[in-house]
A = this chain, B = another copy of it.
Amino acid sequence: MENKFEELRKRCEEMAALGSAGALLGWDQNVYMPPKGAQARGRTLAVISELAHHKLTCRETGTLIADLYDWAQAKGYDSFEAAFLRAIKRDYDQEVKIPAELVKELSLATTASFEAWHKARKASDFAMFAPHLEKVAELNLRKAEALGYDKSPYDALLDLYDAGMRREKLDGIFAELAAGLTPVIKAINERADKVSSAPFKGDFAPAAQLGLALEIARALGYDLEAGRQDLAAHPFSSGILSPDDVRITTRTQADWLPACVYASIHETGHALYEQGFPGEFAFTPLASAASLGVHESQSRFWENLIGRSRPFAAWALPLYRKHFPGKFDSLTPEDIYRAANRSEASLIRVEADEVTYNLHIALRYEIETQLLDRSLKIKDAPELWNAKMKEYFGITPSNDAEGILQDVHWGYGMIGYFPSYTIGNLISAQLYAAIRKDLPGMDAMIEKGEFAPLLAWLRRKVHAQGRKYQPEELLDRAAGQKLSVKPFVEYIRTKYSALYGF
């Protein structure tokens, strides 16, 4: 058995090496690749991912998994071997169920739909994208059928991004969120000018923005010996090979400082997670996030729960002054705290604040679940979009580009991905509540820039587990809770009622 396990490890090492190559090819594509390289790069990435897919789904891998599974579980649920086999079995079982023919069809349809989405958004014309979205929904339904499910085909897709998540649970979550947040949003809307973000508007030199963002990232614990900061049009983080090479990217916007600073804290949160995987997990299926939702919980934790807190503002003000001499002299920590927490119902998800963000997700969730079970006709989707915008935020997009065409996800062929964002937000608030109990002096630490105890807590409870446990299991172990909406809504209500005075 030990020999077979070594054989499986070697196969997983090959998949990991291909994954690392793919990650670097993708990072480079967004950061340094010369323009003429684009077409060949797409082809290279497709081949590399097909090689990895084949390595995972081939008969030899399947046989090894079948032979080793019970042997590994017998080593104890928490053992490396048991977790290793659980993770690779899950990947194998999923990928092996999707017929090669469907993978190919999806890939072709996605290429076409991505292009169509681009053109449609440019023309702000949903009709140009509609037939492609129809095809994407149809192929995703076939994918769900191939994967299998108990109650809803949407469950099968959800499970790809967040193991164990179900539509039944999400219906309740989004309803509870809408009920909890809509009154807060309404109250804020009525007091819009109580909080000003003026301190972050102005003219900020790009190089200084990057310097500030990097100084914050390092202070939070980001290890530049195992990472780097680069510029990208759309910020992302990428574990080229976690935990030893985990990179962040950011961008600058001269007249709006948070576009760099908070995007960077967000990506740093992702990167801290992957830099915290145990070294012995490298080149195994365990050097990975427990789920997309858990990954997002780490970025949101640092970006919002910490980065937009009052003690963080007090700590950060001298840094703002250092990097932008003169610009922040007359401001107080409270000014910075308020500037970082102005909330405003807006049309665009990626620009949404922490209060409104999850309702952007709720409406996408509603649309994509209905598209998948065919209870919503494609042509009626923009109408539902706009109606939901009105209901949640009291505003209506003036065209499709700032409405239903704003996100790339469906164009990429991804259905079932959006909820991860909300799951991440909920988990971040649950972890925050748990940490506060364990670290009573937390605010004072943050005010002094002592982030190490926070990071150590996350490292121990979350990062060091890699992908050993299912997401809800991990949350239970870390915070003693099931996934829950309450801590998040509580956090929002308390914070924003104080900020806006309602």
Which residue of B has the minimal Cβ distance to A223?
Answer: B36
Contacts of A13 in B (CB 8 A): 43, 47
State whether A37 and B283 are in contact (beta carbons under 8 Å apart), knowing that A13-B47, A25-B21 are contacts in the complex: no
Q: Quick check: A17 and B224 within 8 Å, CB to CB?
A: no
Is there a chain B Cβ closer than 8 Å to A464's Cβ? no
Alpha-carbon distance A225/B51, docked complex (angstroms): 29
> How many angstroms from the CA of A240 to the CA of B16 in the assembled complex?
21
Other-chain contact of A24, B28, B225, B241 (Cβ < 8 Å): B28
> Does A227 count as interface, using CB distance less than 8 angstroms?
yes
- Whether A48 is near chain B, meaning CB under 8 Å from some CB there, is yes
Q: Which of B17, B18, B37, B43 interacts with A226 by CB under 8 Å? A: B37
Q: Give min CB distance, A60 to chain B, whole Å.
A: 13
Interface 1/0 per residue, A319-348 and B, CB below 8 Å = 000000000000000000000000000000
A89 to chain B, nearest CB (A): 22
Residue interface bits A291-303, CB-to-B below 8 A is 1, else 0: 0000000000000
A443 within 8 A of B: no
Q: With an 8 A cutoff between CB atoms, is A118 at the interface?
A: no
Contact check, A17 vs B43: say whether CB atoms are below 8 A apart.
yes
Determine chain A's interface SS by DSSP, over half rule: helix
A41 within 8 A of B: yes
State the interface size on chain A (CB cutoff 8 A): 39
Inter-chain contact A48/B21, CB cutoff 8 Å? yes
Closest beta carbon of chain B to A31's beta carbon, Å? 9
A282 contacts the other chain (CB 8 A): yes
- Decide: A34 and B241 in contact? CB cutoff 8 A: no
Chain B residues with CB below 8 A from A282, complex form: 40
Choose one: B25, B34, B244; the contact of A36 (CB below 8 Å).
Answer: B244
Is the CB–CB distance between B283 and A36 below 8 Å? no
Residues on the B chain within 8 Å of A224, using CB: 34
Task: Output the nearest chain B residue to A49 by Cβ-Cβ distance.
Answer: B17
Cα-based distance from A32 to B238 in the complex (angstroms): 14
Q: Contacting A43 at CB < 8 Å: which of B28, B41, B47, B283?
A: B283
Question: Would you call A20 an interface residue if the criterion is a C-beta within 8 Å of the partner chain's C-beta atoms?
Answer: yes
- A positions within 8 Å CB-CB of B: 13-14, 16-18, 20-22, 24-25, 28, 32-37, 39-41, 43-44, 47-48, 51, 223-228, 230, 240-241, 244-245, 247, 282-283
Q: Given contacts A21-B21, A37-B241, could you give 7 more A-B pairs where the C-beta distance is less than 8 Å?
A: A20-B44, A34-B247, A36-B225, A36-B245, A37-B226, A37-B245, A43-B283
User: What are 16 A-B pairs with beta-carbon distances under 8 A?
Assistant: A14-B47, A16-B44, A17-B48, A17-B51, A20-B40, A21-B21, A34-B244, A35-B226, A36-B225, A37-B226, A37-B244, A40-B244, A40-B282, A41-B241, A41-B245, A51-B51
